[in-house]
Amino acid sequence: MSTAPAPNPPAAPASPTPAPAAAPPHSWWRWPRRAILLIVVAAAAVFVVPPAAVWVKYRSGHSLTDDAFVETHIVNIAPEAVAGRVVRFTADENDRVEAGQVLAEIDPTPYRDQVELAKAKLATAEAELKRQEIALARLKLDVPLQIEIARRTRDAARADRAKADESVKVTEDEVERGIEEAKAALDAATADLALAQIEYDRFADLFKQNAVPQRKWDEVTRTRDAAAAHVRLAEAKLAKAKGDRGKIQVTRKTLEAAETGVGKAEKSVDLATTGNEQIAETEQLAVVKRQTVEEARRGLVAAENTLGYTKIRAPFPGVVVRRARNLGDFASPGVAVLSLYNPDLLYVTANLEETRLRGVAPGNGVRLDIDAFSEPFRGRVVWVNKSTGAQFSLMPRNVVSGEFTKVVQRVPVRIAIEKDDRWPQLRAGLSVRVAIEHGPGDPAWAETAAREMTALETKFNLPTSDAPKPTP
């Protein structure tokens, strides 16, 4: 089956030739209107674009925030170690005070009584120590003298014993030598007598036979008699020498007496030496008494310190900004009575958004617009905190439950204010608009500025009372 071709569509009718448009009425004013528009655009470009460009450039080169305040270290002054009724105020709010100036006073009556009691205890302890030291001095004088006397007596007794011992030895030697000599003399005399007797007996027979003359016989007889006499003399000397042994007993008794004297002298020395132990005991007692005196002295110092704490003093030169107690109120340790701050330690803390930290460095210049002043202050960044302020909020974030809302965090930036003649008019807590210049910073200057602030803070460590401090 064949399909017939579709018929051609009919030709469109020819469009008529357009007629030339008619000229709008008043066409002469088009060119002035365009010129005015161009002039307005050019004026806008001249007067709006440059300031806008300057503003954009300024914003790109600075970090801005109005979350900034003038801050300082407000110190709450409170009694340190005493409690009682406030009986006097010498400074009020807005008063400027100097370091050490009395600000208030607590009733000192009970603390004066404690001082008087401590003085009495100290006087008693010192009197006891003085008595002990006098006794010790007397012992130190007497004991060495007694020891010296006892030692000299012992040395004399030892010398006597040595002499007695030597005398015993000499006597024994002399007696034994005398006995030996007497025995030797007796033996010699006995031998001579024996020879003389032999000679006598031989000549007696010859004399009986008339073989020797009378003279020779008489000589032999005399020789024998003399020898016999020598024997008797030697025996007598031997007996006498043996009798001298009694001298040895006498000298030995003398030696025993000397040894007894030495023993007594040694005991006397030992007894006198015990005085050193008595001195040592007395010295220990004196040490205890000195410790008692030191304890009493420390007790007096503590009581005087406590009395001194009844006068509350300014720890540094500053301005009183708050009086928390009135006359007659009861003040307790650690509970503030007055608050003051150091007017030399004023700075700005700017809480800068974390998205604006780029380009901020310690040492960068800062413009400070304070609402209370018509002209801005100048300052410089001291440091940028290492933590955000949210880390120290009363209710820190907790995303454990899964709920989370992103919030731009703010980082505290400390700014040192450059001093000028308006510095005394600055007040802690004033609002500030901050513009921090971007740049590499000046770490050396920032470190010096931080040290200077720390030096001002160390003034807060001064004592707040006129209490005397114990000496080491």
Q: In whole angstroms, how far apart are CA 378 and each of 69, 234, 360, 435, 437?
A: 14, 139, 16, 10, 11
Instruction: Give tens-digit pLDDT for 141-175.
Output: 888 888 888 888 888 888 887 887 787 777 777 77
When pLDDT is averaged across residues 112-132 and rounded to a whole number, the result is 94
Ranges of each domain in the chain: 62-100+315-390+407-461, 111-308
DSSP 418: P
Question: Nearest CA to 138 among 312, 290, 286?
Answer: 286
25: helix, strand or coil: coil
**What's the confidence (pLDDT) of residue 1?**
38
Instruction: Give tens-digit pLDDT for 288-317.
Output: 999 999 999 999 999 999 999 999 999 888
Confidence of residue 470 (pLDDT cuts 50, 70, 90): very low
Q: Check whether 16 has a pLDDT greater than 60.
A: no
* CA atoms of 78 and 333, how far apart (whole Å): 6
Domain boundaries 111-308, corresponding CATH code: 1.10.287
Average pLDDT of every residue of the chain: 81
Which tokens is 384 given?
Answer: 């940028």
Tell me which CATH homologous superfamily contains domain 62-100+315-390+407-461. Answer: Efflux pump adaptor protein, beta barrel domain (2.40.30.170)
**What's the confidence (pLDDT) of residue 171?**
73
Intrachain domains 62-100+315-390+407-461 and 111-308 with the same fold: no
